[in-house]
Amino acid sequence: MPFIPSGIIINETVSPSIYPELDTDIKLPLQTDVRRNRMLETVRQYFIEEDWSAEELTRPDGGSCFAIQFQMPHGLLQVFIDVFGDGDRFAVHAYSSIQVPEQHRIQVAVYTAYANFNMLTSRLELDMENGDLRMTATVDVEDSELSRKMIHIMENIVILEMNRHMSSILAIIYGNLTAVDAYALYRNGSDD
């Protein structure tokens, strides 16, 4: 069974939410439902076009997201493509299969601050409670239409950026580097 970040329903079992803002009973207007359904269909068509087998999952709010796994040089990535309930925001999350051990979370959190300072289209995130590490890109598509090209670009950004940062993060976890030294490793291009 692939690892599943918190907040995703698999076989009617719910883990604690990664979407706390969606843990309330919110009724969306019909117009929002139509918009969200169009965006979800665009994501479905993207996977068909790419000839990828993605699993459609149900979030706690009843919405859908899509999951696909990629084996990368530094571990397995679980990628979630998500249309938020309002139908105006779209996100791609790439979760690392490696959870950051508690004793290294502060240094990895400092590393994420260094890394995020220079990122324009995505962000590296660390859950300090459970050690989940993810790269996220979010776009506001209000007043526009989500396209397969947008999905492709965002998916590539999160996968490639996560992969680029993983060797530095692993150097903190397994090599006991400080965040400053690990970020210097990344900046010097030694992370490929």
Q: What is the mean pLDDT of each run of 10 residues along the chain (192 residues)?
A: 44 40 43 77 90 85 83 89 77 94 97 92 95 93 85 92 93 95 88 44
- DSSP secondary structure string, 132-173? -EEEEEEEE-TTS---HHHHHHHHHHHHHHHHHHHHHHHHHH
Cα 152-155-160 angle, rounded to 5 deg = 120
Length of the chain: 192
**pLDDT computed for residue 85 by the predictor:** 63
b/e burial code for range 33-59 (CB count within 10 A of at least 16 → b): eebbeebbebbeebbeeeeeebeebeb
CB-based contact 48:40 (threshold 8 Å): no
Helix (H) or strand (E) holding 66: strand 64-72
> Looking at the domain assignment, is residue 23 inside a domain?
yes
- CATH code for the domain in which residue 110 is found: 3.30.1460.70
4 belongs to a structural domain:
no
Number of compact structural domains in the chain: 1
**What are the beta bridge partners of residue 137?**
92
Q: Is 118 domain-assigned?
A: yes
37 domain-assigned: yes
What pLDDT does 10 receive? 39
What was the pLDDT predicted at 158? 93
Does some domain include residue 104? yes
Contact 85, 65 (CB under 8 A): no
Per-residue pLDDT, 59: 76
Q: Which residues contact 55 (CB under 8 A, 6 or more apart)?
A: 66, 67, 68
Is 1 inside any structural domain? no
Q: 145: Cβ–Cβ under 8 A, 6 or more apart, which residues? A: 38, 42
> Does residue 192 lie in a domain region?
no
Question: Which pLDDT does position 26 carry in this prediction?
Answer: 40
Q: What are the respective helix, strand and coil percentages of the chain, to the nearest 5? A: 40, 25, 35
The residues facing 81 across adjacent strands are 66, 92
Distance CA 2, CA 191 (A): 26
pTM for the model: 0.76
2 in a structural domain: no
Q: Could you list the residue range(s) of the whole structural domain that residue 125 is in?
A: 9-187
